[in-house]
Amino acid sequence: MPKSSVIVIFTLFCAVLFSRGADSDACKSVDELLTTYGYAYRRHNLTTPDGYILGLYHFLGPKNATGLESRPPLLLQHGIAASADSFFGHGAQGAATYFYSKGFDVWVGSVRGTKYSRGHTRLSPDDPKYWDFSFEELGKYDSLTFVGYIYNETQFKRVYYLGFSRGFMQIMAGFAMEPEFFRLRLAKIAGWAPVVRTDLTTHLAVILAAETGLDSLSQ
């Protein structure tokens, strides 16, 4: 398919996607959503071994809720071209609130380069070196940082992990490179629309990202 045709299709897709218009929640950040609808949360800034500063949300449920310490910790990890926003929808309802209602202590990570995790101890996002990473670094450094922090902050011996799409791929990469670290800290790993390989895909969005570099939209 010619690149120009792909771009036109993608533009039309975006026009339909964002024509939801009247739903003002679609433009709110996680902080704005949770504050608007009366949920308590904390945002933690963590530094990876290679210097990226990551945003990690700890969803505390309705304000004045108690008993959080008795809930098993669950880390939700988003997919490509996304961020922690993926798990909070209209009215702040989404995967985060759902798993909280099922008894989990919910944490939501945003990997390097996304809007909640743009910092670095040395590099600027304007520096091409800042973007020199792949899902391997997301697993070896970002997932390691998230899981290690949650493990140390909670009273449980294991952390549950749910990865959406690339969020599953990165934890598999991390497990392959740091098996002992994750084996000792993770209770179970689950994949939501998991991705393992992309070379055989026929999905337009993946082809578009590969041919035009539009995966940088997540930046």
| pTM, two decimal places | 0.81
Q: Which two tokens stand for residue 141?
A: 């450094």
Structural contact between residues 162 and 76, judged by C-beta atoms closer than 8 angstroms: yes
Place of tokens 């380069």: 113
Place of tokens 């020199």: 132
| CATH topology (fold) of 28-202 | Rossmann fold (3.40.50)
Q: What is the pLDDT along the chain (219 residues), one digit of tens a residue?
A: 455 544 444 454 454 444 444 467 778 899 998 998 989 999 999 999 999 999 999 999 887 777 777 899 999 999 988 899 989 887 778 899 999 999 999 999 999 999 999 999 999 999 999 999 998 999 999 999 999 999 999 988 899 999 999 999 999 999 999 999 999 999 999 998 887 666 666 767 666 665 654 444 444
Q: Where are the domains of the chain?
A: 28-202
